């Protein structure tokens, strides 16, 4: 398989999971001229990729003859469903793709189970979780962390590079899963901290727009704080990543920490605050709603500031 990918023949690619993230990523492959066929449980989400030159499969089974198949789904249960259930990609041991690249955020244990089945079926397996969201993907800013056989990584690197600006290889095993979980724990902790200091500044009479403009232009600003600023200033919680998905990642991260006897006091506290947003029923908005939870705790009622805010990805836009 690695010889095929390393030859002059362009690999045929399959893609399972075309939600917000998966759809944007598959579009980048198709836009790069890669022979791409996609499948999604809700077919309409896959059909949208025809405008990028992708074909749409009627069933997952149609992807079994692809050289490389990418998966991008929400949970470990979803991943095992599309791969191992009746009609799944690996359900027929006599007809399987050459390489499976999973970009989902799942536990190392779930990844190991999939890797074992792949080994039984003669399928090379790479874990390749990502950092970013659909807007980041569209602007070419996605980051990927990859683990698995080094030869397979080398043979598929050209495809991975189509997906974003950074591809980091971290080893032969499932260590990419731990790296991504650590990343998402930090994502939640930073967002909660950003919510706390923003509420403190506003309760002292400073607008959120002014405070975040200062922060983003200071040594403490980052790509992430700048990207989240429009949501914090204008209270636009159009989802890029929901509290339910973030809760899943905290569950995975804290379980890994317990297994390795690593104390995680900040992450554990943040996990409870993420749970509070879920318990309050706000499960379909962006996880930036941690700001609202913090404001309520401080006795502060937030309103959109309708300010022009630069998210660092494109020209500044005024909130709705």
For every residue of 110-160, DSSP letters joined together read HHHHHHHHHHHHT-EEEE--EE--HHHHHTT--EEEEBS-HHHHHHHHHHH
Residue for token pair 């700048």: 226
Domain edges within the chain:
2-173, 183-318
- Could you give the CA distance from residue 189 to residue 28 in angstroms, rounded to a whole number? 30
Position 5 scores a pLDDT of 60
**How many Cα atoms sit within 13 Å of 148 on the Cβ side?**
29
| Structural contact between residues 278 and 243, judged by C-beta atoms closer than 8 angstroms | yes
Four-way CATH pick for 183-318: 3.30.420.40, 3.40.50.300, 3.90.1560.10, 1.10.1040.10: 1.10.1040.10
Closest CA to 29 of 3, 55, 9, 8: 55
* Pairing relationship of beta strands 99-102 and 124-127 according to DSSP bridges: parallel
Closest CA to 38 of 26, 29, 28: 26
Alpha carbon distances (Å) from 205 to 132, 210, 230, 282, 309: 33, 11, 19, 28, 19
* Pairing relationship of beta strands 143-146 and 130-131 according to DSSP bridges: antiparallel
- Could you give the CA distance from residue 154 to residue 36 in angstroms, rounded to a whole number? 20
Position 9 scores a pLDDT of 66
Highest CATH level, class, for 2-173: alpha beta
- Could you give the CA distance from residue 242 to residue 240 in angstroms, rounded to a whole number? 7
- φ, ψ at 97 (rounded to 5°): -75, 170
Closest CA to 54 of 72, 27, 32: 27
Please name the helix (run of DSSP H) or strand (run of DSSP E) that holds residue 190, with its range, or none. helix 175-203
Look up residue 121 and give its two tokens.
């079926």
Position 6 scores a pLDDT of 45
| Structural contact between residues 185 and 159, judged by C-beta atoms closer than 8 angstroms | no
- What pLDDT tens digit does each residue of the chain (320 aa) get? 454 464 446 899 999 999 999 999 999 999 999 999 999 999 999 999 999 999 999 999 999 999 999 999 988 899 999 999 999 999 999 999 999 999 998 888 889 999 999 999 999 999 999 999 898 999 999 999 999 999 999 999 999 999 999 999 999 989 999 999 999 999 999 999 999 999 999 999 999 999 999 999 999 999 999 999 999 999 999 998 999 999 999 999 999 999 999 999 999 999 999 999 999 999 999 999 999 999 999 999 999 999 999 888 864 444 43
- φ, ψ at 303 (rounded to 5°): -135, 150
Bridge partner list, 35: 12
Ranges of beta strands (E only) in the chain are 12-16, 35-39, 55-56, 68-71, 99-102, 124-127, 130-131, 143-146, 166-169, 308-309, 317-318
* pTM higher than 0.85: yes
């Amino acid at each position: 398989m690695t010889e095929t990918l390393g030859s002059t023949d362009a690999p045929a690619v399959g893609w399972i999971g075309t939600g917000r993230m998966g759809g944007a990523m598959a579009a980048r492959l198709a836009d790069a001229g890669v022979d791409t066929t996609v499948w999604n449980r809700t077919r309409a989400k896959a059909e949208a990729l025809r405008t990028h030159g992708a074909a749409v499969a009627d069933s997952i089974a149609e992807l079994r003859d692809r050289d490389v198949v990418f998966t991008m789904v929400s949970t470990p249960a979803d991943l095992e469903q599309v791969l191992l259930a009746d009609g799944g990609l690996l359900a027929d041991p006599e007809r399987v793709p050459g390489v499976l690249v999973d970009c989902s955020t799942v536990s190392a244990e779930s990844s190991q189970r999939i890797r074992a089945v792949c080994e039984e079926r003669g399928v090379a397996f790479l874990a390749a979780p990502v950092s970013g969201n659909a807007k980041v993907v569209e602007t070419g800013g996605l980051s990927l962390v990859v683990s698995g056989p080094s030869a397979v990584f080398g043979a598929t690197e050209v495809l991975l590079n189509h997906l974003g600006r950074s591809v980091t290889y971290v080893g032969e095993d499932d260590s990419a899963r731990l790296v991504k979980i650590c990343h998402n724990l930090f994502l939640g902790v930073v967002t909660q901290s950003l919510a706390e200091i923003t509420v403190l500044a506003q309760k002292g009479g400073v607008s959120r727009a002014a405070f975040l403009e200062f922060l983003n232009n200071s040594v403490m600003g980052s790509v992430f704080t700048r990207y989240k600023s429009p949501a914090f200033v204008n209270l636009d919680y159009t989802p890029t990543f929901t509290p339910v998905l973030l809760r899943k990642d905290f569950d995975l991260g804290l379980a890994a920490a317990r297994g390795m006897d690593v104390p995680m006091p900040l992450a554990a506290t943040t996990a409870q605050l993420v749970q509070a947003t879920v318990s309050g029923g706000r499960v379909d908005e962006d996880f930036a709603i941690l700001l609202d939870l913090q404001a309520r705790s401080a006795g502060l009622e937030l309103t959109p500031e309708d300010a022009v805010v630069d998210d660092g990805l494109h020209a500044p836009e005024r909130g709705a």
